[in-house]
Amino acid sequence: MAGGDNHALFVTSKGELWGMGENSNGQLGRDGKSFHSLAWRIVPSGVIKVSAHGGDWSEHSAFIKSDGSLWTMGSNQYGQLGENNSTTSRFSPYRVEPNDVIDVAAGRFHTVYVKSDGSLWGMGRNDYSQLGTSISKTNIATAPIKIIDSGIRKVFAGPGSTVFIKEDGSLWQMGLSVNGPLSETPQQNGATKLVDGGVVSVSVGGEYNYQAFMLFLKNDGSVYSWGRNNHGQLGLGNTPSISGSPQLLLNAGGLAVAAGEMHSLAVKDDGSLWSAGANYDGQLASSDNNNTNTLTRVIDGGITLVTATSRASYYAKTEQLPWSVGDNDHGQLGIGAITDTHHLPTQVKPVTFHAPNVNVVAGSTYTFTAHQENAQAYQWYKNGILIPGATQSTLSITNFSSADMAKYSLAVTINGITTMSGALELLYNQGVLWSTSLDRKIESGVAIDYNGTIFVAGGSGELNTLFALNGNTGE
């Protein structure tokens, strides 16, 4: 699992890549709609690793397939997609490397990856030397550059930093400091050793040019926190602004860690989820919005994976869809709704069928197609009501009219287990083309919501009704 400020992605055990949330720069690998409040399948198979980051409407994503190929999509204003010296955003995946890639990490404006020979590569912005010292801090790398020749096992990225683990388990960092570690003289192409050995996993949090902090897990199950602590995100029971050296957070039992913008998550080997830090959007999964400076158990067991985006949290149980909680103003929780905050962990709702467009022209024929073509049974629904006879893997609607404008969903039965997809709303277009649909504040311009009401933004960003179109809707 992975995510940026306003989008999130996850990979299933079948190698499918799914995503939800903000898509204004193509970070979900789809063209057209600017955000998705349900999880959409981006790649049908073969994905083994995903990473994402970004902010300020500049999010991007990267993933590795089972053949070792590396793919990127989304914002590219600093060349972070590595696309042949381009700085143009991509709304479909771009293949950066054909093979040999074993790990990848997306930072806010850069991307780094490791090849099978242990070499470290990167592209994008270098204002904090997050790509090392082989290029100037004033330059950007719009094509991949080699940073370190060999010896790298895993790589991680923060808002303005690159962190990597070497074959000997030592932990190194380039770029934005966690307030203290980079005061030493860089030892290898701008990199500084932080920990001598035993490190198996890392997560770097914070905002782009300040408030950086880090969590890391060692091979004995101990967890350490380090850096900014202005919201208690280090989980140490206090809130000094900075911790300039690693602090022991768990002495044993750690399984996974994740750092958001101002909060921390940890999974223990009993499957329990623990959290600390800012909770303004409910990202601590504690069912309230109270901050805490102590690492606190919030879910008792069953959890195997965890990730943190800026102000949201995601966790997964074995062979199940992930659960999400926190900031949801772009639909990034994937729960079928768009809300400022969501304090109750909710399982992600996927769209388990292909929909070529949701803005349907009057009189046309529209066809849904199930992702799973060989299921035991299918049943299509309209506004939650069973459609009689709609029991095939496809559903076609002919001579589309306003009566067909509804929310459609699909129940699929596989191995005796029936799963209901998220509901997708088809909109009726009578020939008027809208640039966007919106149910949140905007800074300028006009917007239309799904019931056909047009809004114009006032000077402070509030939405004022301009006029309604008697139910004519668009996207």
Over residues 41-96, the pLDDT tens digits come to: 999 999 999 999 977 667 999 999 999 999 999 999 999 999 988 999 999 999 99
pLDDT of residue 30: 82
pLDDT tops 80 at residue 180: no
Q: Output phi, psi for 181, to 5 deg.
A: -60, -30
pLDDT of residue 17: 95
Q: Which residue has the higher pLDDT, 19 or 356?
A: 19
Q: Which residue has the tokens 């049974």?
A: 377
HEC string of 366-379? Answer: EEEEECCCCCCEEE
Average pLDDT over residues 241-245: 80
pLDDT of residue 139: 85
Query: What is the percentage of the chain residues whose pLDDT exceeds 90?
Result: 61
318 token code pair:
């074995």
Contact 122, 131 (CB under 8 A): yes
Residue-wise pLDDT for 32-47, tens only, equals 667 788 898 999 999 9
Q: Which helix (H) or strand (E) holds 420?
A: strand 417-420
pLDDT band at residue 170 under the 50/70/90 scheme = very high
Confidence (pTM): 0.85
Q: How far apart are the first and last CA of the chain?
A: 29
Residue-wise pLDDT for 214-225, tens only, equals 999 999 999 999
Closest residue by Cα to residue 371 from 388, 351, 348 = 351
d(CA 104, CA 72): 10
Residue 415, Cβ density class (10 Å: 0-12 exposed, 13-18 middle, ≥19 buried)? exposed
Task: Find all residues with CB under 8 Å of 403, minimum gap 6, and list them.
Answer: none
Contact 96, 82 (CB under 8 A): yes
CA–chain centroid gap for 204, Å, is 15
Map residue 182 onto helix, strand or coil: helix
d(CA 281, CA 290): 9
pLDDT of residue 32: 62
272 token code pair:
């329990």
